[in-house]
């Protein structure tokens, strides 16, 4: 069974004295301040103070981060975000609106979690054009230094061939340099269309940028004088996705594929997955949200992709350790089976450290502000973990798996401060509030079911009293009198028990529901009061 960090059930999912080896980090930062052992400070280009701190959570809970800067406003168009990560390093872009002309300017910072106290450095200008991409390469050079690598395509005049200029920032020299890399001839047809959607490291001196439609652009030997660039094509779209809206549109544009595909590098090989959604049940013709995921593997120097395995949402079962975490939206407690075909699941993401795990994000509706992160065990066809999350964004791959958190262990005073605990409690309050409202919705469904039980109860009473129009339990029915006087062949004691059960259904069903509603509403009111503090 895949190994996961422990997720506490008593509200203690956030570590106080140590940090996990890796986390699922929310790419988007929020305005606020923590001022704890994860905090690092620097200055913006305009010489304003800026600090960044993290709330590190055990996977699968999302780790969050806060940014505090007087010049930063809570504007969605200026959302700070993590654009690259590897080892102890995070690359963070922070945009500001110029007060004079209203134009947007972006500062790029490099955050280092360790060793030693966390640090934050502003990268010097001029920036290469691609620095504002969401997929900038970060290549660690040991624990203390790294390279920031920004590829920029161009025509190489000497050969007339297509190539890339690699703009490289080194933390050792704190300066930019440039290396030119020619591409293989067979890459010409992809050059104009290739769009970077993800970047990851390969070994100690190589990076790979992926376009989930065309392939993997692998750059080897970046630390040397003559890096080598080659393209590794990805498999063609699977049949169902070829029929859906993933082909070229009439205007020449093509929709992104990160909703259904992902690729990474682990254990000396590339891993690739693709998800297909079966929206129409071929047997019942009913609309559903069932899906399958196929996984492929390829060695660096191989010529072909090999399919490893596939999983079907209809055949998934929960691991024993997972059942207590399940929510009614994805778990039928009566049938004891998962109901993932009732929720939207997208953005399958390969685990970078375990080749048997795939993560997904699920919501009931695309615009919902809460949902779940699912961890699937591929080989065992198991739902291994499920953790709820609150997000202000639409369904998307909103997290980044990275290992910077393990370098906090060397940070002085690595502990949870009272301020940080308050922020955590506020986020937990928001999460619980959403699920209390969800619980009320579930009770409405239970009420509907209980109403159907009541109709059955009344039907049973009618069978015992064919001529009676009253359900007043104080009025003996004709059938009851006949049974008790022995004019019926069935035993009176058995019927007494049957009548007692039928008359008790209403009392045993309706009262607990109203009591539970009252408790949930009271809890929600308490959370609202806490939120207003």
pLDDT score of 324: 64
pLDDT score of 530: 52
pLDDT score of 369: 73
Least confident of 137-146, 176-185, 239-248, 334-343: 239-248
Per-residue model confidence as pLDDT tens digits over 32-88: 888 888 999 999 998 899 999 999 988 888 898 999 998 887 665 678 999 999 999
pLDDT > 70? residue 466 = no
DSSP state of 237: P
pLDDT score of 467: 46
Sign, CA dihedral 463-468-472-477, equals negative
DSSP state of 248: P
pLDDT score of 448: 64
Least confident of 167-181, 273-287, 339-353, 435-449: 435-449
> What distance lies between CA 299 and its chain's CA centroid?
28
pLDDT > 80? residue 139 = yes
pLDDT score of 531: 47
pLDDT score of 349: 93
Between 7 and 395, residue with greater pLDDT: 395
Q: What span, in angstroms and rounded, lies between the C-alpha atoms of 444 and 329?
A: 13
Least confident of 162-166, 202-206, 292-296, 322-326: 322-326
Least confident of 5-19, 54-68, 132-146, 422-436: 5-19
Per-residue model confidence as pLDDT tens digits over 223-249: 998 898 888 999 999 988 888 767 666
Share of the chain above pLDDT 90, in %: 34
Least confident of 157-171, 273-287, 342-356, 414-428: 414-428
Q: What span, in angstroms and rounded, lies between the C-alpha atoms of 393 and 368?
A: 8
pLDDT score of 36: 86
Strand partners, 57: 14
What mean pLDDT comes out for the span 105-123?
Answer: 95
| Closest alpha carbon to 12 in 428, 405, 438 | 428
- Label the pairing between strands 382-390 and 317-318: parallel
pLDDT > 80? residue 427 = no
For the record, the structure tokens of 45 come out as 């280009």
What mean pLDDT comes out for the span 123-137?
Answer: 91
| Closest alpha carbon to 36 in 49, 17, 20 | 17
Per-residue model confidence as pLDDT tens digits over 312-332: 998 999 998 787 667 778 888
Q: What span, in angstroms and rounded, lies between the C-alpha atoms of 171 and 174?
A: 5
pLDDT score of 133: 86
Going from the C-alpha of 303 to that of each of 208, 234, 274, 457, the distances in angstroms are 17, 11, 19, 68
**Overall pTM > 0.85:** no
């Amino acid at each position: 069974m895949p190994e996961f960090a422990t997720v506490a059930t008593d509200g203690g999912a956030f570590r106080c004295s140590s940090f996990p080896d890796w986390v699922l980090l929310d790419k988007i930062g929020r305005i606020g301040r923590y001022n704890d052992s994860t905090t690092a400070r620097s200055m913006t280009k305009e010489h304003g103070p800026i600090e960044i701190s993290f709330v590190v959570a055990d996977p699968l809970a999302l780790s969050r981060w806060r940014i505090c800067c007087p010049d930063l406003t809570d504007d969605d168009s200026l959302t700070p975000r993590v654009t690259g990560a590897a080892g102890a390093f995070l690359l963070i872009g922070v945009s500001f609106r110029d007060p004079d002309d209203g134009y947007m300017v972006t500062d790029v910072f490099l955050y280092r979690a360790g060793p030693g106290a966390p640090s934050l450095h502003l990268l010097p200008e001029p920036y290469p054009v691609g620095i504002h991409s969401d997929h900038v390469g970060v290549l660690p050079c040991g624990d203390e230094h790294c390279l920031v690598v920004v590829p920029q395509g161009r025509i190489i005049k000497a050969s007339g061939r297509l190539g890339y200029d690699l703009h490289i920032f080194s933390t050792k020299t704190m300066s930019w340099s440039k290396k030119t890399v020619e591409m293989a001839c067979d890459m010409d047809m992809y050059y104009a269309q290739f769009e970077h959607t993800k970047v990851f490291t390969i070994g100690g001196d190589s990076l790979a940028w992926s376009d989930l439609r065309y392939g993997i652009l692998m750059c080897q030997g970046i630390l040397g004088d003559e890096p080598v660039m080659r393209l590794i094509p990805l498999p063609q779209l699977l049949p169902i996705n070829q029929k859906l809206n993933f082909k070229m549109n009439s205007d020449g544009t093509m929709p992104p594929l990160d909703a259904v595909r992902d690729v990474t590098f682990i254990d000396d090989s590339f891993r690739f997955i693709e998800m297909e959604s079966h929206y129409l049940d071929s047997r019942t013709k009913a609309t559903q949200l069932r899906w399958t995921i196929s996984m492929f593997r390829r060695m660096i120097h191989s010529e072909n992709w090999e399919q490893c395995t596939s999983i079907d949402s209809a055949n998934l079962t929960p691991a024993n350790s997972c059942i207590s975490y399940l929510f009614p939206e994805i778990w039928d407690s009566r049938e004891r089976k998962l109901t993932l075909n009732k929720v939207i699941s997208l953005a399958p993401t390969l685990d970078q450290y375990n080749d048997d795990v795939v993560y997904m994000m699920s919501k009931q509706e695309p615009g919902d502000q809460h949902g779940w992160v699912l961890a699937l065990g591929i080989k065992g066809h198991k739902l291994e973990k499920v953790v709820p999350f609150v997000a202000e964004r639409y369904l998307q791959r909103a997290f980044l798996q990275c290992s910077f958190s393990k370098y906090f262990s060397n940070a002085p005073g690595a502990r949870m401060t009272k301020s940080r605990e308050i922020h955590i409690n506020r986020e937990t309050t928001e999460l619980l509030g959403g699920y209390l409202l969800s619980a009320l919705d579930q009770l409405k469904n239970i009420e509907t079911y209980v109403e159907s039980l009541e109709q059955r109860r009344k039907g049973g009473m009618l069978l015992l009293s064919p001529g009676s129009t009253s359900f007043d339990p104080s009025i003996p029915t004709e059938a009851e009198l006949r049974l008790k006087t022995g004019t019926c062949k069935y035993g009176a004691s058995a019927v007494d028990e049957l009548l007692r059960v039928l008359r008790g259904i209403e009392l045993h069903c309706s009262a607990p529901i109203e009591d539970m509603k009252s408790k949930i509403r009271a809890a929600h009111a308490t959370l609202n009061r806490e939120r207003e503090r």
